[in-house]
């Protein structure tokens, strides 16, 4: 067996697209993606437009709204300073609308995602992504290029963050396309680099708006940071699991 490249330091899922993610101690990865990932969308209630923080300033505060799944897989959301509220629900819609300054609604992509929900659905704005993996080595490379910036993993919305020693002058996982990885019992194929968008520059809790984040990725890594992986063998992954080449 090959030597470990690093160990899992963070695990994330994003129950509602564009809202803040949920940091977990373990995740279950199915044949396509993390269980519970991206089940709901936030829309402008006036026209059904789905939130696009990367493109429209009216959505820039959306990543400040937290989202989580309860043990029975029900969505809850919380605006800054507010309590956790069930969603989809008129009360949570009202809280989110008040925070954003216009009428919005949280809607599931499928009725299977929200037991008992009878309202309208929304459509995912892009195809469901596979597993998004990011190494701290790449974050360290970005920090070296942009010392005044904060390359917090939350800017990039990974599922798996692997703690790994920096590789001088390199965003290492971007160079691994086509290789296979074992992350604990999970087996992955690295399919493609993750091309970054304007979401990466938006302020979140703990860091400010920063165009230099994306500017340096465009200049030094062809817009990319992290990789998308397809699942060869589903498994449960926990913090501390080793990552190796297969």
What pLDDT is recorded for position 125?
73
What pLDDT is recorded for position 245?
97
How many CA atoms lie within 13 Å of 78's alpha carbon, on the beta-carbon side? 10
Handedness of CA 26, 32, 36, 38 (dihedral sign): positive
What pLDDT is recorded for position 155?
97
What pLDDT is recorded for position 124?
83
What pLDDT is recorded for position 129?
66
| Separation in Å, CA 120 to CA 73, 85, 106, 155, 186 | 19, 19, 10, 30, 36
Concatenating the DSSP letter of every residue in 66-124 gives EEEE-TTS-EEEE-TT---EEESSHHHHHHHHHHHTS-EEEEESSGGGSTT--S-----
What pLDDT is recorded for position 130?
86
What pLDDT is recorded for position 127?
67
Q: Which residues, at least 6 apart from 141, have a Cβ–Cβ distance to it below 8 Å? A: 166, 167, 169, 170, 171
Rounded to whole angstroms, the Cα distance separating 111 from 134 reads: 31
What pLDDT is recorded for position 2?
80
List, run by run, the mean pLDDT of 10-residue segments along the chain (246 residues): 91 97 97 94 96 95 98 96 97 98 97 91 78 98 98 98 96 97 98 96 96 98 97 98 97
What pLDDT is recorded for position 187?
98
Domains of the chain: 6-33+128-239 (2.40.33.20), 40-113 (no CATH)
């Amino acid at each position: 067996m090959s030597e470990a490249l690093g160990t899992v330091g963070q695990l994330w899922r994003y129950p509602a697209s564009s809202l803040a993610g949920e940091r977990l101690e373990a995740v279950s990865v199915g044949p396509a993606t993390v269980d519970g990932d991206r089940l709901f969308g936030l829309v402008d209630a006036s026209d059904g437009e789905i939130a696009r923080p990367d493109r429209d300033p009216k959505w820039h505060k959306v990543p400040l709204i937290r989202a989580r799944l309860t043990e029975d897989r029900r969505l809850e959301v919380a605006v800054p300073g507010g309590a956790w509220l069930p969603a989809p629900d008129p009360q949570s819609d009202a809280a989110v609308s008040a925070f954003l300054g216009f009428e919005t609604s949280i809607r599931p992509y499928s009725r299977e995602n929200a037991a008992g929900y009878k309202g309208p659905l929304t459509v995912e704005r892009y195809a469901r992504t596979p597993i998004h993996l990011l190494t701290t080595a790449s974050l360290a490379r970005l920090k070296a290029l942009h010392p005044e910036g904060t390359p917090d993993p939350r800017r990039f919305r990974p599922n798996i963050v692997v703690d790994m020693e920096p590789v001088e002058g390199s965003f290492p996982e971007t160079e691994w396309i086509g290789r296979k990885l074992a992350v604990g019992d999970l087996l992955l194929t690295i399919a493609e680099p993750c091309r970054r968008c304007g979401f990466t520059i938006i302020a979140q809790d703990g860091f400010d708006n920063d165009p230099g984040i994306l500017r340096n990725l465009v200049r030094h890594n062809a817009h990319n940071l992290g990789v998308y992986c397809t699942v060869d063998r589903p498994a449960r992954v926990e913090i501390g699991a080793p990552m190796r080449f297969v």
